[in-house]
Structure 1
Amino acid sequence: MTRDRRDERLDQLTGLLATMSRDAATAIRGASAALLDIDRDAGESVLRGDAVLDGLRAKVEAMVPLLLVRHQPVASDLRLVLCAMRIAGDLERMGDLAVHIAKVALMRYPITVVPPAASEVVTDMAVAAARIADKATVVLATRDQLDATQLGLDDDEVDAAQARLLSLLVSGWPYGVESAIDLALVGRYYERYADHAVNVARQVVYLVTGDIRL
């Protein structure tokens, strides 16, 4: 593989990751709309879009052997190839978690999953998760370490909101066990979504510095 051809494939690889990141951000917004706005169309759109994310991850995985076998990459290129596989996995998992949220909303449709008592805290989680997803997309494009570090702080916000939600659910929750289970799952899905976005940032830091800490 010539250098030009190798660079072209590396550009394609980063382009696929950028597309996956945008799709994962779109998915969490759609899932939150299904959950908070009782928007069936939004929820079904998330389910349809998940196949696209799965396909993009498969393309990333198919490109990696070509880059490794046909050209012996220098250290920075090798880090990019290895990080791309991990990042694609995290982004695909983010899409899966958005699907889980959408499915909870669709399963209860047209009844809301989020009663008034939990509306504020779940909205906080949804807003924070979308913001983290957007920042992950920016970090992938800019490879800015400061922005990557900021994701860890945003993740703390999601963790704190999840703790608030769980506190509500165990302190005389008046809407029944089924409602409590739904919301506990939703909170967990948002928390894990944010964790995977932070993992993307960690991989970007490793790509730039060789240091995985964040």
Structure 2
Amino acid sequence: MSHSYDEQLDRLTGVLAAMSREAAGAIRGASAALLNGDRAAAETVVRGDAVLNGMRDDVHAAIPQLLVRLQPVAGDLRLVLCAMRIAGDLERMGDLAVHIAEVALMRHPVTVVPEPAVDVMTAMADAAARIADKTSVVLSTRDQLDAMQLGLDDDEVDAAQARLLAMLVSAWPYGVESAIDLALVGRYYERYADHAVNVARQVVYLVTGTIRL
């Protein structure tokens, strides 16, 4: 029973690690679609959402058996409960990447991001990708300092979103439709980063039993 229990915990953490990699790939693909007009990348992101959904379902399906049949001790119980929350955040990160890709698909072949907004949107996309990579590392290492660093990266996304919104309300010359697209995309990036920070919070709780972010 103990051997099976350990195997199931290892599988649970492995699924979470795979989910984080999928979420990181999704935001990169969505950003390529948004900034480069890469239709194939956008379509790949949309199709790939089913993979993250399936992984989330695998995590949720494993939890009742771990709780009821294997009766985990306190530390492992935190892992099981955190896994459910982390899986939800990672799946939502995938959804938000899909939303960005769908905006790119909806406007294709027209580029969603006009030239004046390229720098700020690139900064937001780069920060989101960096956050996604750090999330994968944090899930693997459970390093508290790395987890807390994600809060600073999230501030970078928030600052870029603020710059974007200031640009959109200051005599934006590309029309209301363009302004709405960019405001939505900025919000999607901001929420993506927020969910990554939520993952980091759960990792800190898993290690310490305390939320410190």
What is the match of residue 112 of structure 1?
A: 111
What is the match of residue 154 of structure 2?
A: 155
Counterpart CA distance in 2 for 1:136 and 1:211 is 19
1:213 Cα deviation (Å)? Answer: 2.2
Q: Which runs of 5+ in 1 are unaligned?
A: none
> TM-score normalized by structure 2?
1.00
Mapping for residues 104-143 of structure 1, pairs under 5 Å: 104-143=103-142
What is the match of residue 175 of structure 1?
A: 174
Q: Does 1:82 align with 2:81?
A: yes
Q: Cα deviations across residues 113-166 of structure 1 (Å, max 9, x unaligned)?
A: 100010000000000000000000000000000000000000000000000000
One-letter identity of the residue aligned with 2:200: A
Mapping for residues 1-214 of structure 1, pairs under 5 Å: 2-214=1-213
Counterpart CA distance in 1 for 2:135 and 2:128 is 10
Counterpart CA distance in 2 for 1:103 and 1:201 is 27
Counterpart CA distance in 2 for 1:152 and 1:165 is 20
Counterpart CA distance in 2 for 1:72 and 1:94 is 31
One-letter identity of the residue aligned with 2:55: L
1:71 Cα deviation (Å)? Answer: 1.2
One-letter identity of the residue aligned with 2:155: D
Counterpart CA distance in 2 for 1:171 and 1:213 is 38
Which secondary structure state, in structure 1, belongs to the residue aligned with residue 113 of structure 2? Answer: coil
1:72 Cα deviation (Å)? Answer: 1.1
Counterpart CA distance in 2 for 1:21 and 1:85 is 14
1:45 Cα deviation (Å)? Answer: 0.1
One-letter identity of the residue aligned with 2:195: H
Query: Number of matched residues?
Result: 213
Counterpart CA distance in 2 for 1:124 and 1:136 is 18
One-letter identity of the residue aligned with 2:16: L
Counterpart CA distance in 2 for 1:192 and 1:151 is 14
1:212 Cα deviation (Å)? Answer: 1.2
Which secondary structure state, in structure 1, belongs to the residue aligned with residue 110 of structure 2? Answer: coil
Which secondary structure state, in structure 1, belongs to the residue aligned with residue 52 of structure 2? Answer: helix
Find runs of 4+ consecutive structure 1 residues off by over 2 angstroms: none
